[in-house]
Amino acid sequence: MLYLVPTPIGNLEDLTLRALRILREVDLIACEDTRTSAKLLRHYGITTPTTSYHAHNEARKAAQLVARMEAGARVALITDAGTPGISDPGFRLVRACLQRRIPVIALPGPTAFVPALAASGLPTDRFVFEGFLPTKKGRQKRLAELATEPRTMVLYEAPHRLVRTLGDLAQALGDERPAVVARELTKTFEAFARGTLRTLHAYYAAQPRVRGEIVLIVAGTTYRPDPDWPREQALIMSSYVSETRS
């Protein structure tokens, strides 16, 4: 049996009761980074053995984990944060399990793009998840495809590439396209920046350094924003919540 167990993206209280039970009951936990996962497991007193499973050892480790499961082991797969397989390792192992008729159970739980989209203020009835844009080859082609996308677009981006990506999107989609930058979700310095691609680019280009995990939400071609949508400058809404943090 393989369990896909989502882990908190920031706030440690976002681990579900079911996830806690599974992580305690399985025979082995496969972690994207065992050092990162050790902090979470220690916090909840989970002593289940762990092993590494990441982008650089997927092919070899998937075969080993499948062999363990075929011998009767129950394995949980977790990543550093969020849901396994969503812009994180997991696809190869799931596919290998299904090919060998090993049951795969995916638990619902934390993932960054859902709360970012839900709180963005942009349409949520139809959307497309794009993950990370290509950094080099294929980037311009993908941007050209997005220029005609009618649905709300959700992307992930690294902080050091945010300014470049906002500029590229503004050039490809039009600099007045409504957009939202959601940063450090569920953490102490969670913030939403709403504006147009032009104003968001100008705001972040003026910042000395952008930190934290980022979700970028961009309106589709059919969206007509409300009159009060910020257009002259980016509107930054920060929240500080004193709760259990990672």
Domain of 229, CATH number, reads: 3.30.950.10
Q: Does residue 246 form part of some domain?
A: no
Q: Is there a single domain that holds both residue 123 and residue 215? A: yes
Q: Does residue 58 form part of some domain?
A: yes
Q: Does residue 244 form part of some domain?
A: no
Q: Is there a single domain that holds both residue 98 and residue 161? A: no
Cβ 138 vs Cβ 130: under 8 Å: no
Contacts of 215 (CB under 8 A, 6+ apart): 112, 113, 116, 117, 154, 155, 156, 157, 181, 182, 183, 185
Q: Measured between alpha carbons, how far is 67 from 53 in angstroms, rounded to an integer?
A: 14
Q: Measured between alpha carbons, how far is 102 from 68 in angstroms, rounded to an integer?
A: 11
User: What pLDDT score was predicted for residue 227?
Assistant: 87
- The number of distinct structural domains making up the chain is 2
pLDDT at 241 over 80: no
Query: What pTM did the predictor assign?
Result: 0.90
Q: 88, 1, 96: which is closest to 37 by C-alpha?
A: 88
Q: Is there a single domain that holds both residue 124 and residue 92? A: no
End-to-end CA distance of the chain: 29
Q: 168, 96, 174: which is closest to 132 by C-alpha?
A: 168
Q: What is the pLDDT of residues 105-116, one digit of tens each?
A: 999 999 999 999
Q: Which of 81, 106, 131 is the last residue of a domain?
A: 106
Q: Does residue 98 form part of some domain?
A: yes
Domain that holds residue 170: 113-238
User: What pLDDT score was predicted for residue 225?
Assistant: 83
Q: What is the pLDDT of residues 152-202, one digit of tens each?
A: 999 999 999 999 999 999 999 999 999 999 999 999 889 999 999 999 999
Q: Measured between alpha carbons, how far is 19 from 107 in angstroms, rounded to an integer?
A: 7
Q: Is there a single domain that holds both residue 194 and residue 100? A: no
- Rg of the chain, C-alpha, whole Å: 20
pLDDT at 140 over 50: yes
Q: Is there a single domain that holds both residue 78 and residue 126? A: no
Number of other residues whose CB lies within 10 A of the CB of residue 29:
23
Q: Measured between alpha carbons, how far is 91 from 32 in angstroms, rounded to an integer?
A: 13
Q: Is there a single domain that holds both residue 77 and residue 123? A: no
User: What pLDDT score was predicted for residue 93?
Assistant: 96
Q: Is there a single domain that holds both residue 101 and residue 124? A: no
Q: Does residue 245 form part of some domain?
A: no
Domain of 27, CATH number, reads: 3.40.1010.10
Q: Which of 106, 135, 158 is the last residue of a domain?
A: 106
Q: Is there a single domain that holds both residue 78 and residue 181? A: no
Q: Is there a single domain that holds both residue 88 and residue 138? A: no
User: What pLDDT score was predicted for residue 245?
Assistant: 45
Q: Measured between alpha carbons, how far is 173 from 159 in angstroms, rounded to an integer?
A: 21
Q: Is there a single domain that holds both residue 77 and residue 157? A: no
pLDDT at 246 over 90: no
Q: What is the pLDDT of residues 59-96, one digit of tens each?
A: 899 999 999 999 999 999 999 999 999 988 999 999 99
Q: Does residue 169 form part of some domain?
A: yes
E strand or H helix that includes residue 153: strand 152-157
